[in-house]
Amino acid sequence: MSGPIDYEAFRREVTEFALTHCPPEIRAVVATDRKLSRKIWAPWQRILFEHGWGAPGWPKEYGGTGWDHRQRHIFDEVMAECDCPPQYHHGLRHLGPVIIAFGSEEQKRRFLPGILDGSDWWCQGYSEPGAGSDLASLRTAARREGDEYVVEGQKTWTSHAHEADWMYTLVRTSKEAKKQQGISLLLIPLNTPGITIRPIATIDGWHHVNEVFLDNVRVPVANRVGEEGQGWTYGKFLLDRERLGGANVAPMLKQLDRTRNLVAAELADNPDKRQALEQRLLDAEAELLGARALGQEAVAAVMEGQNLGLLPSVLKLSTSHTVQRVSEVAVDAVGDRLAPRFRRVDGTGPNAEAPGREWLQGYLYGRVRTIYGGSSEVQRNVIARQLFGF
Ligand SMILES: Cc1cc2nc3c(=O)[nH]c(=O)nc-3n(C[C@H](O)[C@H](O)[C@H](O)COP(=O)(O)OP(=O)(O)OC[C@H]3O[C@@H](n4cnc5c(N)ncnc54)[C@H](O)[C@@H]3O)c2cc1C
């Protein structure tokens, strides 16, 4: 018979596992805040999977751990403390729960194992030129021909498409009066003829986002999730889970700690400036601790199948701004010294590999947090609509 959970023993078990199983070269990448790619994420996912910890958030019957939300929270905290990478989100946190909730039994059998063991890599094809905040205006069209859809259109800002095997994609399957109707969710293998992926150069020098062109791409109807025309419902269910990324505050607190160490080291001879920056970090810490409490509520609500209401938007809005502010403190601490090390957008340039560059890169990359997954203005609209009903 199993007794009450000993959370301290659980914490020790996870810490021991993280320190002995996460390869030092992977932890070194995380510890220096360098950017992650499939080469880093996939082997770590495989290790977690082999230990039975591949999907902490999934129900046990699909390979989840069966942990309660406090255990999941301890797991996230320990992973951040030990510099283990956060798990790649597109399969595990975004698409997986959608397939579990809305997919057919055949789709569950086919797609969940590859997400769980890290052998299938997913990206998100939602945004298009002219359809970002106003996602329901998307125009990529899927025309039915027998057992296939023929897809024509363009996606943009597609993170990690260049290293993914599959793209979960919102497409328009009919032109109804209301634009939210007539959208469907298709799972498209990225090696299908007619797909072209082009990189987008961003200010932080990291190749992360892409344009994806779809030219007469044939996709089996069996790859449609749920019902035709109901993709908006599934897409929004998924977006809520994407915004809950803000509930995992542990890596943000770890980054705040690193920044505190940086401020202490850089400004040892400048106590006034040091104190001012430390004050800003204290404010940020208070906000993150508030978000952590809210995040625990949200994770509990997800596990109990409750409606999440405002929580995903509030979390996304608050943590994205706070993390930006922390990265601004880092640049204020070292900015003058690092200014000549700005990289060109292609990632080259003088001192591109100089020590300390990660503070600048973190600052530049951090700008995106208030844009992706729905910009801050859009989150405020969502919150206002729910609070005031307009
Ligand atoms: C680095 C990065 C990674 C991304 N990854 C992905 C991905 O993997 N998959 C994917 O599908 N998409 C991805 N996106 C796209 C992202 O979701 C969109 O950029 C975002 O939704 C904003 O859309 P937009 O860029 O078209 O800007 P627009 O919608 O054109 O917005 C421009 C400005 O207008 C404001 N605005 C728009 N509408 C309103 C309104 N109603 N009220 C008030 N203000 C408004 C916005 O807040 C913004 O400041 C990514 C974006 C970036 C930058």
Q: Which 3 state secondary structure label does DSSP give 389?
A: coil
Query: Are both 193 and 268 inside the same structural domain?
Result: no
Q: Which amino acid is at 369?
A: R
- Cα distances (angstroms) measured from residue 95 to each of 44, 76, 122, 123, 321: 19, 20, 8, 9, 26
115 lines ligand 1 (CB under 6 A): no
Residue 117 lies in a domain: no
Total tally of structural domains belonging to the chain: 3
Query: Are both 51 and 145 inside the same structural domain?
Result: no
CATH number for the domain spanning 384: value is 1.20.140.10
Residue 378 lies in a domain: yes
196 lines ligand 1 (CB under 6 A): no
Where is the domain boundary, 61, 87, 113? 87
CA 121 from centre of chain: 13
Query: Are both 142 and 253 inside the same structural domain?
Result: no
Q: What is the 159 CA–ligand 1 centroid distance (Å)?
A: 13
Q: What is the 370 CA–ligand 1 centroid distance (Å)?
A: 9
Return d(Cα 180, Cα 268) in angstroms, integer: 56
Tell me which of 375, 376, 377, 390 to substitute to probe ligand 1's pocket, judged by most ligand atoms within 8 Å of the beta carbon.
375
145 belongs to the catalytic site: no
374 lines ligand 1 (CB under 6 A): yes
Containing structural domain, residue 177 = 122-230
Q: Which 3 state secondary structure label does DSSP give 9?
A: helix
Res 1: pLDDT: 47
Res 84: pLDDT: 97
Query: Are both 269 and 363 inside the same structural domain?
Result: yes
Residue 1 lies in a domain: no
Residue 286 lies in a domain: yes
Tell me which of 154, 345, 367, 371 to substitute to probe ligand 1's pocket, judged by most ligand atoms within 8 Å of the beta carbon.
371
Q: Are 35 and 365 in contact (CB under 8 A)?
A: yes
Where is the domain boundary, 40, 69, 87? 87
Query: Are both 130 and 215 inside the same structural domain?
Result: yes
Task: Please state the atom number of ligand 1 nearest to the C-alpha of residue 125.
Answer: 11
Query: Are both 132 and 222 inside the same structural domain?
Result: yes
- With a cut of 70, list the residues of the chain below it in pLDDT: 1-2, 303, 336-356, 390
Query: Are both 82 and 38 inside the same structural domain?
Result: yes
Pick the catalytic residue: 77, 163, 242, 266?
242
Contacts of 95 (CB under 8 A, 6+ apart): 111, 115, 122, 168, 187, 238
Task: Please state the atom number of ligand 1 nearest to the C-alpha of residue 131.
Answer: 26
Q: What is the 376 CA–ligand 1 centroid distance (Å)?
A: 9
Return d(Cα 229, Cα 184) in angstroms, integer: 5
35 lines ligand 1 (CB under 6 A): no
Q: What is the 242 CA–ligand 1 centroid distance (Å)?
A: 14
378 lines ligand 1 (CB under 6 A): yes
Query: Are both 257 and 349 inside the same structural domain?
Result: yes
Residue nearest to atom 41 of ligand 1 (CA): 378
**Which tens digits make up the pLDDT trace of 86-95?**
999 999 999 9
Residue 16 lies in a domain: yes
Residue nearest to atom 35 of ligand 1 (CA): 377
CATH number for the domain spanning 130: value is 2.40.110.10
Residue 110 lies in a domain: no
Can you name the residues that pair with 217 across neighbouring β-strands? Answer: 151
Residue spans of alpha helices (H) in the chain: 7-21, 24-31, 38-50, 69-81, 89, 96-102, 105-116, 231-243, 250-266, 271-303, 311-338, 357-366, 376-388
CB atoms within 10 A of CB 191: 8
Residue 359 lies in a domain: yes
Q: Are 152 and 141 in contact (CB under 8 A)?
A: yes
CA neighbor of 319 nearest in space, from 233, 241, 248 = 248
Query: Are both 74 and 169 inside the same structural domain?
Result: no
Return d(Cα 246, Cα 255) in angstroms, integer: 14
367 lines ligand 1 (CB under 6 A): no
Residue environment code for 35-45, b if the CB has 16+ CB neighbours within 10 A, otherwise e: ebbbebbbbbb
- Cα distances (angstroms) measured from residue 234 to each of 57, 97, 172, 231, 320: 18, 10, 14, 5, 24
Res 232: pLDDT: 94
Q: What is the 11 CA–ligand 1 centroid distance (Å)?
A: 38
CA 106 from centre of chain: 26
Task: Please state the atom number of ligand 1 nearest to the C-alpha of residue 375.
Answer: 47
Where is the domain boundary, 174, 203, 230? 230
Query: Are both 285 and 326 inside the same structural domain?
Result: yes
**Which tens digits make up the pLDDT trace of 343-381?**
554 555 555 556 667 788 888 889 999 999 899 999 999
158 lines ligand 1 (CB under 6 A): yes
CB atoms within 10 A of CB 148: 16
Pairing of the two strands 166-172 and 122-125: parallel
Query: Are both 200 and 297 inside the same structural domain?
Result: no
Q: What is the 125 CA–ligand 1 centroid distance (Å)?
A: 13
What average pLDDT is seen over the chain? Answer: 91
H or E stretch covering 148: strand 148-155
Q: What is the 286 CA–ligand 1 centroid distance (Å)?
A: 28
